[in-house]
Structure 1
């Protein structure tokens, strides 16, 4: 990936050392530089966002790593330029991350970043979340600013394994969105959503996430999720950095 873009990139804030391990800080710094240069040129990040990438995007996404179980399989739907999925894959090399994004220019950028940073725990899939329904399930399905919770449930829950969870980054509307989907949650036999704030002692404001699990892993309410769970056991895993 070219370094010929002449644009000032934001410096690493001191607080980043509390979010990322020292041996991962160089990787996330390089990713941030690529977002501020190539990402802006390709229209993936707005020019006004470049100076505030760390505060508004990188650190905000990075603290979600504490919500991921050790060794988890994670799917980030509508990942865009890799937020939060690519940040989480850098922060947590123990997880296997699948990035789902329908636009070619974005998946091309993601593939180039993954190759440059040598992230062997990342798979890039060009497509929509629905394309994997009935094909794969994951321990955690993440998203950031993708859609209201009603639509997000329909896209995400069929990808959530019986013992897994949806972990969606949300803002102040989280509680209202949960109230608006109470009937859907009961119909699909989802557990009562949990609203959590992450990075309380690090970020101001902290990151808010909504976590949704199945109420009974042995009796999933979403029929397609039951099918995908069975199929996932029979299908081989996709190769690293695969684009379909």
Structure 2
């Protein structure tokens, strides 16, 4: 395993105050290796450089770890598994459901689950508005939804009473927050610093009214 990537990931996790041992870090990098391998055929990510993938995929996903609540969470529109796969590796005692409508991406995620032995990760192929779960979730996560309004409208049926929406955003999404204030309580907007990334990152935490 590339020592540069190992050191980069270890330093990044320390900076984020996300506790990871060497075994956990190896699994995180094994996930990246699978993504690089499958990306040639499945077009999972436009980021091709492994060091950038550590920053923009692994550390970006793990930056929200200190703010998450709940034991049963769903990552909607997960794509190649971000942030759901890194979070499921770091939090083996929590259950993560990864939902995407793209069959190629869910096939990749099934391979990740099998190869890394992620028993706490469940993969679903469906459109979010059509997906129904017997048990609602403590939290709905999203890294890729177009707007907070879309997230609330399409995912509210998945949220347990008192559950949280956690939306990963770039710049502070003031207009998006205003658009859902009649339906949601804004619990917090966390300004998130991703080691090695100069771009703005925010995590919006909301509950339903």
Q: TM-score range by the shorter chain?
A: 0.7 to 0.9
Query: 3-state SS of the aligned residue for 1:46?
Result: coil
1:2-151 to 2 correspondence within 5 Å?
11-12=5-6, 13=8, 14-18=10-14, 19-22=18-21, 23-46=23-46, 48=48, 50-69=50-69, 72-133=71-132, 135-151=134-150
| Residue 162 of structure 1: how far off its partner (Å) | 0.7
Unaligned 5+ runs, structure 2: none
Question: Superposition RMSD on alpha carbons, in Å?
Answer: 2.5
For the pair 1:212 / 2:206, whether they are aligned, the reply is yes
Tell me the secondary structure at the aligned position of residue 192 of structure 1.
strand
More strand by share: 2
**CA contact 1:17–1:25 (8 Å) conserved in 2:** no
Structure 1 pair 144–42 and aligned structure 2 pair: CA distance change class (3 A): same
Go from structure 1 to structure 2 and tell me whether the alpha carbon gap of 1:117 and 1:52 turns closer, same or farther (over 3 Å shift).
same
Conserved 8 A contact 1:167-1:211? yes
Q: Is the 8 A contact 1:44 1:106 kept in 2?
A: yes
Q: Quote the offset at 1:206 in angstroms.
A: 6.3
Tell me by how many angstroms 1:131 deviates. Answer: 2.4
TM-score using structure 2 length: 0.85
Deviations 1:98-139 (A, max 9, x none): 000111111110000110000000000110212234744100
CA distance, structure 2, for counterparts of residue 154 and residue 49 of structure 1: 36
In the superposition, the TM-score normalised over structure 1's length comes to 0.74
Return closer, same or farther for 1:31/1:134 CA change in 2, 3 Å cut-off.
closer
Q: Could you say what secondary structure the match of 1:82 adopts? A: coil
- Report the count of equivalent residues: 202
Q: Does 1:160 align with 2:154?
A: no
Q: Output the CA distance in 1 between the equivalents of 2:160 and 2:179.
A: 24
Larger radius of gyration: 1
